[in-house]
Amino acid sequence: DIVMTQTPLSSPVTLGQPASISCRSGQSLVHSDGNTYLSWLQQRPGQPPRLLIYKISNRFSGVPDRFSGSGAGTDFTLKISRVEAEDVGVYYCMQATQFPYTFGQGTKLEIK
């Protein structure tokens, strides 16, 4: 199984300031079809997960442009340009290049 490692596990951020979460995979996530199936999901307290970013850097429908994804191969980053109160929650990276699909441990974003 591909192990996904997120850092940090907790991120206290001041409102209006940027935030960044890293995700490293145990092996390259480049699929044989040429795509890299690395997604980022947000889970607000008491809510189901919500897709933010797919295939490294594509924002899903309705996701604010303050969220961006980058990276390649085994190293990926989610950035929030200016954190808002509604961004509080747990963020997961997820690989769907190789079954079983696996998730990072989650990073808890909280407001200072």
Partner 1 sequence: EVQLVESGGGLVQPGGSLRLSCAASGFTFSGYWMSWVRQAPGKGLEWVANINQDGSAKYCVDSVKGRFTISRDNAKNSLYLQMNSLRAEDTAVYYCARGTTVPQYWGQGTLVTVSS
Beta strands in the chain (DSSP E): 4-7, 10-13, 19-25, 38-43, 50-54, 58-59, 67-72, 75-80, 89-95, 102-103, 107-111
Binding mask 6-45 for partner 1 (x = CB under 8 A): -----------------------------x-x-x-x----
Q: Does 51 bind partner 1 (CB under 8 A)?
A: yes
Binding mask 54-73 for partner 1 (x = CB under 8 A): xx----x-------------
Q: 83 is written with which tokens?
A: 């954190």
For partner 1, the closer of residues 86 and 112 by Cβ is 86
